[in-house]
A = this chain, B = another copy of it.
Amino acid sequence: MSKIIFDCAVSLDGFFAGDNRGPENPMGNVAHLIHSWMFKQKAFWQHLGMDGGEEYGADSKLIEAVFARTGAYIMGKRMFEEGEVAWPEDLFKADVFVLTREKREPWVQKGTTTFYFINDGIESALEKAQQAAKGKDVRIQGGANTIQQYLNAGLVDEFFIHTAPVFLGSGIRLFEGIDANKYDLEIMEVIPSDLTTHVRYKLKKK
């Protein structure tokens, strides 16, 4: 059955992004610190149609697995605006639903990525993403605030956290203001690595 998931890297002190995020400063310039495990993987660069990276076993398989299972993406307006100017074309290879107040025609990229701009809330975006995903999973891509909204609405089934061995000290936390009474959590899988610690959780609504 199609699931609603997210899959994020964070610093050891829980930050999803650094300070002063914006289109001129994607992720607050901390991607090299918390995503370094991913940038080392051949699977990541292959997905972009580029050379680079090495094979790292378990770490590499995780990247292929999450791309393979995802049929549509949802993201917040700020993440989209940061990425719009920086991402290579056809990064997502699926439909992407952007939560925004902006009225805008779909942006059809070369390849199979189309961005749709959704003005009527997170549940409407989810419904459209589930239709687009055709039985595959819907991934809440980010940013942190968008993930928090879906979590606190009780809409997430499963997530993967990749905790990098680094302190950021400040920035935007992934888990800020999470409703503690919404779910029971279960550890599904732990994948040790010298690069980052991968843990998959299952959520059951209380």
Counting every copy of the chain, the complex holds 2
Chain B residues with CB below 8 A from A197, complex form: 187, 190, 197, 199
Chain B residues with CB below 8 A from A175, complex form: 12-14, 167
Decide yes or no whether A1 CB sits under 8 A from chain B: no
> What is the bound-complex CA distance between A196 and B177, given in angstroms?
22
A187/B194 in contact, CB under 8 A: yes
Residue of B nearest to A180 (CB): B169
Residue of B nearest to A164 (CB): B185
Q: Which of B166, B167, B185 contacts A12 (CB 8 A)?
A: B185
Main secondary structure of the interface of A (DSSP, over half): loop
> What is the bound-complex CA distance between A60 and B190, given in angstroms?
18
- How many residues does chain A have at the interface if contact means C-beta atoms less than 8 Å apart? 33
Decide yes or no whether A106 CB sits under 8 A from chain B: no
Chain B residues with CB below 8 A from A173, complex form: 14
Decide yes or no whether A25 CB sits under 8 A from chain B: no
Q: Which of B179, B190, B195 contacts A169 (CB 8 A)?
A: B179
> What is the bound-complex CA distance between A190 and B162, given in angstroms?
13
Instruction: Type the 1/0 row for A154-194, where 1 means its CB is closer than 8 Å to any CB of B.
Output: 00000001010111111001011111111101110010111
B180/A167 in contact, CB under 8 A: yes
> What is the bound-complex CA distance between A193 and B189, given in angstroms?
9
- Known: A166-B180, A167-B182, A197-B197; 13 extra A-B contacts, CB below 8 A, are A12-B185, A12-B201, A165-B185, A165-B186, A167-B175, A167-B183, A169-B178, A169-B180, A187-B192, A187-B193, A187-B196, A187-B197, A190-B193
Which 7 A-B pairs rank lowest in CB-CB distance, beginning with the nearest? A190-B192, A13-B175, A169-B180, A165-B185, A14-B14, A167-B178, A167-B180
